[in-house]
Chain A
Amino acid sequence: DQQVKQNSPSLSVQEGRISILNCDYTNSMFDYFLWYKKYPAEGPTFLISISSIKDKNEDGRFTVFLNKSAKHLSLHIVPSQPGDSAVYFCAAFRGTSGTYKYIFGTGTRLKVLA
């Protein structure tokens, strides 16, 4: 049962435009949602997170939106830069009530074209 889904395996965007990466989850038990970026031959690096009680979190060029009714979150990158080309993973975390879960999506490969 895939609890966290990224349905778009790849995305291409022109430099300077907005990149929107999407992620869906299947239940409401998670406390936080996170986005990680991964370059080839490196481990994932944390990008931004959002609490399950929030709708939006912004950090520089990166904004994450959470739609709890739709069980959907998205990462917006504005403006996109060639250095943003990487694989992006969303993750869902639950660490309360004695149950620890950390579930990753399958990733979306973003290519920013110069």
Chain B
Amino acid sequence: DADVTQTPRNRITKTGKRIMLECSQTKGHDRMYWYRQDPGLGLQLIYYSFDVKDINKGEISDGYSVSRQAQAKFSLSLESAIPNQTALYFCATSDPSTRSDEQFFGPGTRLTVL
């Protein structure tokens, strides 16, 4: 079984709709992250959480919100989706005892906003 799972894997929605992307992990890591990847660009950090009570904005948090429901669950919401939020979204986890903060990624969610 995969250590980091994301649902859904693909989603097509319309402008203005509310969308939630979910992430679950079985690695037991405290730290969780949400990234987006656009064609030809690297991954950009949207939000990160170092524990259940700690939520922080990343580089591109505008238009997004998150919820850390438990150590193992971290969801990303688009309150009112717009077309330029069409992208590939990745969830990741890491163990804070690892000095280099190597991250473990889920398979991604491809989101299309029409």
Q: What is the interface of chain A, defined by CB distance below 8 A to chain B?
A: 4, 6, 9, 31-32, 34, 41-46, 49, 51, 89, 91, 93, 95, 100, 102-107
Contact A44-B90, Cβ < 8 Å, known A4-B42, A104-B43, A104-B44? yes
Closest to B88 in A: A43
Q: Whole-angstrom distance between the alpha carbons of A75 and B96 in the complex? A: 25
Among listed B12-20, B65-73, B98-106, interface-contacting one = B98-106
A6: which B residues are within 8 A, CB to CB?
42
Closest to B43 in A: A104
Q: Which of the residues B99, B101, B105 comes within 8 Å of A44, measured between beta carbons?
A: B105
B4 touches A43 (CB 8 A): yes
B100 touches A34 (CB 8 A): yes
A43 touches B42 (CB 8 A): no
Q: Which of the residues B41, B56, B102, B107 comes within 8 Å of A43, measured between beta carbons?
A: B107
Contact A100-B43, Cβ < 8 Å, known A44-B105, A46-B104? no
B48: which A residues are within 8 A, CB to CB?
100, 102
A49 touches B43 (CB 8 A): no
B103 touches A100 (CB 8 A): no
A41, A44, A93: most-surrounded residue (chain B CB, <10 A) = A44
B107 touches A107 (CB 8 A): no
Q: Whole-angstrom distance between the alpha carbons of A6 and B43 in the complex? A: 13
**B43 → chain A, closest Cβ, in Å?**
4
**A18 → chain B, closest Cβ, in Å?**
24
